[in-house]
Chains A and B, each alone.
Chain A
């Protein structure tokens, strides 16, 4: 193990019967914010649950602080976990919930009350702290879970889709809070299927697709890979054949096909092509009716990264 690594996965796989959820993944985390990015069902939650000790790896190893995370309840002293599922005890107030989590971490009642008040303040839930959680909105429940996760001031924070249900202001506040916690030396691992969330928060990104680690590293590098990939557009114009010929003469066009009356164009430079296409059409006196990128879904971006 890397002496600086706090969380380490080594060739970790997890399968359910014949279905592979996570396939031979290795990475190390040591301080800062890391984002697990991938489409729904990619294996992000499985990885988080293995790190959190709620799933045993089928092969390979998952360690936290050098100890296997599976069947090791003592490690929860240093781990704060914010699960994806919304369910929280509806009969407890936000304050009671945070305090109960502090008490379960072994704090004395007075210390737990103090820690709960601090955690409630950190997630800006003071106004609703004494209301039963059953009356909370989705975003408030989410913040109550975060308060419970950090009430014992953990050195490792694991968050599964933490921004679900939060409004934009709450998201920004939560991101700011996580940034500050990372700056204090904590190791934060969170999952998201939303690129912008990861872009804003994570210094390091692990892209997970179909249970495999498709790419990892600095977010800017991953972003560049995503932007520089081939893009496909469909176009409708007053003269598709002439437009195809004109576009093929340009260096930004990698290929064009006219199939079933639909013009499809491939380019390696999304930005340059988007900017140039209207000028090209105008120069050739072609009326452009429609220009649509066809493969901008996150899934297609991820698929491209996997194929690389």
Chain B
């Protein structure tokens, strides 16, 4: 970790407009929970909270926030040319990538887990037998995995946002619902497996489609693989030049 790079990245990622937009997105989750609570349907609190945190929290909020922060952590600097001020320094590319990844993941986790915790507590009226803490902890791990994938993607292609969105919508949203095999490589499904395992959620409330062991193995593979790709790509980074 490099403190100077972390501070610059933090200020870059948490620009006022972007943060407000993402807070609004998280606010929708809390708003829905509030409306449910006001409706007074307490008997359905557990399944509703499970659906709210699983579908809207882990399924929508988490990937979108991570996509914005993950692709913006290095990709935006490369695109606008400011990356050269970090790269022309005697700092290893590994340190740059790891610092950027940690900051992006921390920002993503904060803007995902905070609203999820609040929404979960409001909708369920408590911790809901491990459902709320499990989902929040799972989302923190999911944010890290997503950010690793998106940071790597931003160093592989200049259209990381488009490809990232396609992965979330098509692979995770569509294919993972149709073909069970694709779920193994879905960060969303891995996140739900972590949530289930950490929260110890009773089966009648929530059951993840992927086992905890698979989630740990695939999650580790994704995290390490994506980070290594990012380091490798940044080490071979070339400025796009002129042609005579």
Contact = CB atoms under 8 A, between A and B. Distances in A.
Contacts of B12: 89, 91
Interface stretch (A100-108, A241-249, A292-300): A100-108
Interface in A32-79: 41-43, 45-46, 49, 52-56, 71, 73-77, 79
B82 A52 contact: no
B90 A106 contact: yes
B91 interface: yes
A81 interface: yes
A21 B92 CA distance: 28
B166 to A, nearest CB: 27
A13 to B, nearest CB: 11
Given A54-B237, A91-B11, A73 B244 contact: no
Nearest to A17: B243
The size bracket of the interface on B is 20 to 34
Contacts of A21: 241-244
A187 interface: no
A74 to B, nearest CB: 5
Nearest to A18: B243
A119 B241 CA distance: 29
Nearest to B243: A19
Nearest to A102: B4
Interface residues of A, number: 43
A211 interface: yes
B88 A79 contact: yes
Contacts of A83: 81, 84
A211 B241 CA distance: 12
Interface in A162-212: 210-211
Contacts of B8: 89, 92, 100
Contacts of B241: 14, 16, 21, 45-46, 49, 55
B244 A71 contact: no
B122 to A, nearest CB: 35
Instruction: Give chain B's interface secondary structure class.
Output: loop
Contacts of B239: 49, 54-55
A20 B90 contact: no
A85 interface: yes
B204 interface: no
A76 B85 CA distance: 11
Contact of A22 (B3, B85, B90, B244): B244
B86 A87 contact: no
Contacts of A49: 238-239, 241
A232 to B, nearest CB: 25
B235 interface: yes
Pairs A-B, 8 closest by C-beta atoms: A211-B244, A85-B81, A87-B81, A19-B243, A104-B89, A54-B239, A46-B241, A81-B88
Interface of B: 2-5, 8, 11-12, 15, 80-82, 84-93, 235-239, 241-244
20 contacts: A16-B241, A19-B244, A20-B243, A20-B244, A42-B242, A43-B244, A56-B236, A73-B91, A74-B90, A75-B90, A88-B82, A89-B12, A91-B12, A92-B11, A100-B8, A101-B89, A104-B2, A104-B86, A106-B90, A211-B244
Interface of A: 14, 16, 19-23, 41-43, 45-46, 49, 52-56, 71, 73-77, 79, 81, 83, 85-89, 91-92, 100-101, 103-106, 148, 210-211
Given A73-B92, A100-B8, A101-B89, 8 more contacts: A21-B244, A71-B235, A71-B236, A81-B84, A89-B11, A91-B15, A104-B4, A104-B86
